[in-house]
Amino acid sequence: MKFTHLKKNKEIKMVDISKKKNTHREARATARVKFSLQTFKKVVLDDSPKGTIFNTAALAATMAAKKTYELIPLCHNINLSSVDIDFKIIKKKSEVEVISIVKSNTKTGVEMEALTACSIAALTIYDMCKSFDKKIVINDIRLLFKSGGKSGNYEDDNIYPSS
């Protein structure tokens, strides 16, 4: 196995996708945001002094997915067909799980866009809650699923239930 973004002399390169065919691509990713019980209650009740936390985080995630190529140096600028952001409330753990689903009909995958979306949504939630809790933890940012392309489908076999 070789790194696709490195030449034989270890110089970096952008992967050449010019000869690839457009295919349907989809990726799902997740991130978890862990709160103190007091902060979790504020978040769940949408009682943040900065406004609607989840709507803001979803908008930030969508914008980030569209700009992934500007943030990750060797990512391609691709047209996204869909960016869907969802939030699952995990009461037992005082956590919010961010889930992103990104779709495109293009020559390259959308895994980085899905991962970027989750990361930025989690960071936006942190930003909106940091005024009353600096101990918020963001963790478990990972790819859950991807389809399309030469490498085929991937599904995380360690997916754990949200509750």
Residue 17 within any structural domain of the chain: no
In the chain, pLDDT over 90 holds for what percent of residues? Answer: 65
Q: What is the pTM of this model?
A: 0.88
- CATH number of the domain at 42, please: 3.30.70.640
11 in a structural domain: no
Q: Quote the percentage of the chain above a pLDDT of 70.
A: 87
Calculate the average pLDDT of the chain.
88
Catalytic residue among 84, 86, 127, 133: 127
Question: Using 50, 70 and 90 to split pLDDT, how confident is the model at 5?
Answer: low
Q: Is 33:122 a contact under the CB 8 Å cutoff? A: yes
Q: Which range marks the domain in which residue 57 is found?
A: 23-150
pLDDT tens column, 93-108: 999 999 999 999 999 9
Taking only the tens place, the pLDDT of each residue in 127-138 is 999 998 999 999
46 included as an active-site residue: no
Res 162: pLDDT: 46
CA pair distance 114, 87, nearest whole angstrom: 14
What is the number of structural domains in the chain?
1
User: CB burial class (10 A; 0-12, 13-18, 19+) of residue 75?
Assistant: buried
